Structure 1
Amino acid sequence: MRRRAALALGAALVASCRGPHPAAPVYDVDAVRYATIVGFPARALVAGADSARRQDIAMMVWLLRAPGRTVLVDAGFHRDKFVRQWKPADYRTPATALAALGVDSAAVTDVVLSHVHWDHADGLDLFPNARVWIQRAEYEYYVAPDGTPAHPGIDADDAAMLHALRGAGRVMLVDGDAREILPGIAVYTGGRHTYASQYATVRTHAGTAVIASDNCYLYENLDRRRPIAQTFDSLSNLAAQDRMKTLASSARLIVPGHDPAVFARFPSPGNGVARIR
């Protein structure tokens, strides 16, 4: 009897040590549209698309909220030179778009930066208290030790900004694929939009969602199994899109980087905001 009791106690202790970790938070996930670029060439989005075809594309950031944490995937752009060059319709800064949702830019705790292109990285300095999560290989490929661009693909002002943020201790360099960087949020590499672009998964009320950013521009990339047109490696990009389908709880929870159809597929609450659910 004593032996059985001891064995039962031992098993209980082992079970308690192996017990489940506290549940990761569940996030509310919103795609937030802050501008539109009109008549963008489809051939720059989908490999093999008709060269005469053009379509509007949505400029957006993705807001992930859970108790005690306000996270963005990407930060958009705000510098006047980009506004003048691209002439976006219905433009407002990403910070202004978030303020309309009651989110103070100073309250953003983290920005997951998918890659260094101007329309995703330029707005980082709008969020003065946020840590920035970027792949180490991406940062080191594009930002030289003196803060100048090491390779084409990053704007000089954005390179200098990232360098300064790193000097301030706010840049968190992620080492590679399949890393949980925050509770309930993981990042994955392989999309090859840029040298070491990353995309994110997030735990939502509807299951695991994938925030693809520019590793998948449009639903068309997924539906027709077409790589993005701007990539270091088309085969790697296709493999990443295939992987997204295994990571997401359902294909409908893969959110492409620039497709205005996101706001038709997820029409609530509206006014440029799509709750992913």
Structure 2
Amino acid sequence: MNSLPMPAAWAGPLPSAAPPPDMALYQLPTGTYETRAALAVRGGSWRDKRHFAATAVLVRHPAGDLLIDAGFGSGVAGHVAMLPRFVRAPYRAGRTAREHLDAGGYDRGRLLGVLPTHSHWDHVSGLDSLPVPIWMNADERRYAAEDADGKVFRAVSPGHEIHEYRLDGPPYLGFPASYDVHGDGSVVVAAAGGHTTGSVVVFVTLPTGRRYAFIGDLTWQIDGISRRVERPWLLRRLADSDPELVRQGLLRVIALAGLMQVVPAHDRGAYDGIPPLPVLK
């Protein structure tokens, strides 16, 4: 299976955080698409069919809310058609993030924007029905504008304000630079380039003290953490802008796994325990 070496568990103190008492976290599942474990992680089986999640996460904070990723949009069929044929997969669309918010009677005026972990299609498709700012750092903004894998982003982003944040804060839990969204340690974005040049991990700390790491596509499935395995060689070549940086980020997250809930974007089970947004009756 060729597991990565076991990194030492994080031994330092956890960063201080003072989340407000009414802060909350919700998952907004927007659909799934199919692939095989053999294409997701080294040592995976061709017989093991995986249903990759396309899920947005709503972080509610009295200073303003954010969505981490946007999931599938209303135009997902057209977005899939923009992909090279060899990466298209059977998919099932559910409610869009906007439909989840509206069904819950959510005031979209509270939403500061969508913060994608990176700009690949399955993280930004839902921007087609969310007229809110897009939060990106300069490296990811450049990647999304120039790389072939930014095609769907370029289709859904016109008309959106781009809120460009700077990863100019201190190292955070082993990652080289950070950005504290609200200044209270409750939502911290960490530089984790490698899958794309400006991809990030979003760390969230709730008032209960529970911590989450939304790691985007450092690994597609939780097996990458629990079994310490990367993507297969060919998929690393095709999917990652810098596989070595992805490996470093994966090892950093493995070192943190005992201290927080690690959520790879496409593992449905990794969202367990995060409640759905209540629906108005």
**Taking structure 1 as the reference length, what is the TM-score of the superposition?**
0.73
1:235 to 220, 234, 244: 244
Structure 1: how far apart are the matches of 2:17 and 2:92?
A: 44
Q: Does residue 25 of the first structure (1) align with residue 20 of the second (2)?
A: yes
Structure 2: how far apart are the matches of 1:190 and 1:241?
A: 9
Q: Deviations over 1:194-248 (max 9, x none)?
A: 2221110112123331111222321111001112443233332232123235557
Indicate if the aligned counterparts of 2:17 and 2:205 stay in contact, CA closer than 8 A: no
Equivalent residue number for residue 8 of structure 1? none
Equivalent residue number for residue 199 of structure 1? 201
Equivalent residue number for residue 81 of structure 1? 78
Indicate if the aligned counterparts of 2:55 and 2:265 stay in contact, CA closer than 8 A: yes
More helix, by proportion = 1
- 1:28 deviates by 1.4
Equivalent residue number for residue 166 of structure 2? 174
Indicate if the aligned counterparts of 1:35 and 1:59 stay in contact, CA closer than 8 A: yes
Q: Does residue 111 of the first structure (1) align with residue 114 of the second (2)?
A: yes
Given the superposition, is the C-alpha separation of residues 258 and 231 from structure 1 closer, same or farther in structure 2, using an over 3 Å criterion?
same
Equivalent residue number for residue 42 of structure 1? 37
Matched-pair identity in % = 23
Indicate if the aligned counterparts of 2:28 and 2:276 stay in contact, CA closer than 8 A: no
Given the superposition, is the C-alpha separation of residues 22 and 54 from structure 1 closer, same or farther in structure 2, using an over 3 Å criterion?
closer
Radius of gyration: which is bigger?
1
Q: Which amino acid aligns with 2:270?
A: V
Structure 1: how far apart are the matches of 2:165 and 2:276?
A: 35
- Partner of 1:210, secondary structure, is strand
2:64 to 65, 69, 78: 69
Q: Does residue 260 of the first structure (1) align with residue 268 of the second (2)?
A: yes
- Partner of 2:42, secondary structure, is coil
Given the superposition, is the C-alpha separation of residues 220 and 101 from structure 1 closer, same or farther in structure 2, using an over 3 Å criterion?
farther
Given the superposition, is the C-alpha separation of residues 45 and 247 from structure 1 closer, same or farther in structure 2, using an over 3 Å criterion?
same
- 1:152 deviates by 1.3
Equivalent residue number for residue 59 of structure 1? 54
Structure 1: how far apart are the matches of 2:39 and 2:127?
A: 25
Matched positions, count: 238
Unaligned runs of 5+ in 2: 1-15, 82-87, 169-176
Indicate if the aligned counterparts of 1:108 and 1:127 stay in contact, CA closer than 8 A: no
- 1:86 deviates by 5.0
Q: How does 1:84-233 map to 2 (within 5 A)?
A: 86-128=89-131, 130-143=132-145, 150-155=146-151, 157-162=152-157, 164-165=159-160, 168=161, 170-175=162-167, 177-183=177-183, 184-204=186-206, 205-228=208-231, 229=235, 230-233=239-242
Q: Which amino acid aligns with 2:242?
A: D
Indicate if the aligned counterparts of 2:54 and 2:72 stay in contact, CA closer than 8 A: no
Structure 2: how far apart are the matches of 1:125 and 1:106?
A: 17
- Partner of 1:182, secondary structure, is coil
- 1:121 deviates by 1.4
Indicate if the aligned counterparts of 2:70 and 2:114 stay in contact, CA closer than 8 A: yes
**Taking structure 2 as the reference length, what is the TM-score of the superposition?**
0.72
Q: Which amino acid aligns with 2:212?
A: A
Indicate if the aligned counterparts of 1:35 and 1:89 stay in contact, CA closer than 8 A: yes
Given the superposition, is the C-alpha separation of residues 269 and 178 from structure 1 closer, same or farther in structure 2, using an over 3 Å criterion?
closer
Given the superposition, is the C-alpha separation of residues 89 and 115 from structure 1 closer, same or farther in structure 2, using an over 3 Å criterion?
same
Q: Which amino acid aligns with 1:206?
A: G
